[in-house]
Structure 1
Amino acid sequence: MNLSIETPALLFSATSLILLAYTNRFLTIAQIIRSLKKTYEDNHNKSILLEIKNLNLRLTLIRYMQLFGVMCLFLSVFAMLLLYIGQETIGIYIFGASLLSLLISLGISFWEISISVRALRVHLQDLSEHIK
């Protein structure tokens, strides 16, 4: 199998955009948690604690999404280095590991998004009961 040095470079733009999206999700959730914590300190509502727990899980998942995304980028660069110095076989395996890392990152992202959708449906369910 032949792998050119440009192939791992293709992941740079995609991985960079994915990491930017992950960071934006992280910052948004962190801001929501800060707001909810302040609200909880004012009225000690148990449902707020459950929301914070849910958001904490999502923050943990985002951290792993970022970890595997960065690992994908690192392994892509390493694969390019190996291809550059003529270590094509090892470079191919490292690039495969990079793709696997990206796949894991995207899988965790799907998990985090599904948690988010379930939480939003709970909020919408409350509203739909009032509409009926």
Structure 2
Amino acid sequence: MKKLLWLFILPLLIIGCAKDYYTSYQSASEGKEYGTLIVKFSNPIKNVNITVDGNLIAEDKFTERVEVANMPVGKHKVKVIASSWELKDDVNNVEEMNIQPNSKQTMLVEVPPKSTGYWIYQTAIYTVTFITSYYLYEW
């Protein structure tokens, strides 16, 4: 019986782990100064797309943090877009970031709350899982 319960619990533990994403804007060359850009989300979010000066940096990532190394010093236009059925609203932030030499600049992005559809879906899934495991345990 315990093996059957693990069949329901194990997928919940494995599914949906957000990972930090690390990338480099360009390869470092001598004589130039570089900094680092960090895009930090208030909560993990799916389908993250980030462009810097029109160059795609991250595409369809599930993350809470994106770190871009080797950013040339100066001002850069950073655009962050993310959309998911789980969220009330889409994320669409554009910010001009001033990258300083040998330092990390952080762009904070507020993630909207979960949508009503998300909470209905979660309730349905947990209810079905609970009822199924209850009847299997009684069986």
What is the TM-score of this pair, normalised by structure 1? 0.29
Higher share in strand: 2
What is the TM-score of this pair, normalised by structure 2? 0.28
Greater RCO (CA < 8 Å, at least 6 residues apart): 1
Higher share in helix: 1
